A = this chain, B = another copy of it.
Amino acid sequence: MTREVGARIRALREARGLSLSALAAEAGIGKGSLSELETGRRNPTLDTLYAVATPLGVPLAALLDDHDGAVIGGGGVVATRVRVLRETDRTTEVYLLRLAPGAVRTSPAHAAGVEEQLIVVAGHGLVRYDDRTVALAPGDHVRFAADRPHAYEAGPDGELEAVNVIVTPSSGQLDR
């Protein structure tokens, strides 16, 4: 996570032809801090992130990569965010999940009212929610409330690939 953010900052900085020292000076932070930040060895503070984003001329979200195409994965699981649609009453996120054979993706409980759906594109596996375990095969569709812990698990003999849609209700005052 910090590694990705750091790499993104370095890419943005180099794209602008700025030296590390120059960006640190513009941002008003120590260049040692920026060096360790870019190499992912620091867990930056909100202040620091903001200080860096400003002279780079990008919104903070660009550093966090919280947009379409974000890749969240790790540990045999790759989740590519295909689409985020923020509407007044709900946010819908679409991911393409790919799990290596045997890999498990566990999710903590989301907020109340969050619903997940899954359509298997390829491979076999399991999804666990509540006390149920449901087998997954290509073409299968699952829908469940995601306000409890749940997990996806790829079968042992092949990659599991699936489309995952998460709908989060906005509970009123999310947007103003």
Most B-side CB within 10 Å, residue of A47, A56, A66, A93:
A66
Q: Is the CB of B172 within 8 A of A57?
A: no
Q: How far is the CB of A82 from chain B (nearest CB, A)?
A: 14
Most B-side CB within 10 Å, residue of A26, A55, A59, A173:
A59
Q: How far is the CB of A121 from chain B (nearest CB, A)?
A: 22
Q: Is A19 an interface residue (CB 8 A)?
A: no
Q: Is the CB of B17 within 8 A of A112?
A: yes
Q: Which residue of B lies closest to A149 (CB)?
A: B26
The segment from A94-102, A103-111, A131-139, A157-165 found at the interface with B is A103-111
Most B-side CB within 10 Å, residue of A26, A57, A62, A173:
A57
Q: How far is the CB of A113 from chain B (nearest CB, A)?
A: 9
Residues of B within 8 A of A84 (CB): 59
Q: Is A29 an interface residue (CB 8 A)?
A: no
Q: Is A33 an interface residue (CB 8 A)?
A: no
Q: Is the CB of A15 within 8 A of B47?
A: no
Task: Given contact pairs A44-B46, A45-B46, enumerate 19 new A-B contacts (beta carbons under 8 Å).
Answer: A1-B47, A5-B46, A11-B173, A15-B172, A16-B112, A26-B109, A43-B47, A45-B45, A54-B108, A55-B108, A55-B110, A55-B111, A57-B110, A58-B91, A59-B91, A59-B93, A60-B61, A64-B64, A69-B175
Q: Is the CB of A57 within 8 A of B16?
A: no
